[in-house]
Structure 1
Amino acid sequence: MAKEKFQIDEGFIQLDEIIKQLEQEDVKLSDAVALYTKGVEVLKECRDSLDKVEKELIILEQDGEQNGSF
């Protein structure tokens, strides 16, 4: 099965939910570690997605400059 494409908006929602769970007073240490680990994974996917978009924008800008569009 192919990996589902990461959606950055969903990633931000997941991070928000993880933070809310971590802020609960009754969260067990083992659960906190698991949540933190998941949060780091989601954050990396968000960062990778933003990096990809930034690179695409740079390429578009360079193409526009070469074609005299900007």
Structure 2
Amino acid sequence: MLEEKKSEQKETQIPLEELFSKLEEVVKNLENPESSLEESFQYYNEGMQLLKRCNETIDSVEKKVLVLDEEGETYEF
């Protein structure tokens, strides 16, 4: 159980830019006409997992963003 939590923490620590780069690679592989149908399914699943992690990362960042109002006060976005 501890190893699973550590693994999850390491996965969530991947920068968003790197996740997008991996997602771009997956899209290129999906667009490759030489990819078999089975490979395409694997790429699709991998892409959906990456997309989910991107969304989770963005959601997490949005929750942490603070907005500065006209009076100089901050509040959560």
TM-score by length of 2: 0.73
Relative contact order higher in (CA < 8 Å, ≥ 6 apart) = 1
Among 10, 13, 32, the residue aligned to 2:40: 32
Q: How many residues align?
A: 64
Residues 6, 45 of structure 1: 8 Å contact kept: no
Residues 15, 39 of structure 1: 8 Å contact kept: yes
CA distance in 2 between counterparts of 1:50 and 1:26 reads: 33
- The unaligned stretches of length 5 or more in structure 1 are none
How much is the aligned-residue C-alpha RMSD, in angstroms? 1.5
**Partner of residue 22, structure 1:** 30
**Partner of residue 8, structure 1:** 16
- The unaligned stretches of length 5 or more in structure 2 are none
**Shift, 1:45, TM fit:** 0.3
Structure holding more strand per residue: 2
> Percent sequence identity over matched residues?
28
Moved over 6 A (4+): none
CA distance in 1 between counterparts of 2:29 and 2:38 reads: 13
**Shift, 1:6, TM fit:** 2.6
Tell me whether 1:69 sits opposite 2:72 in the alignment: yes
TM-score by length of 1: 0.80
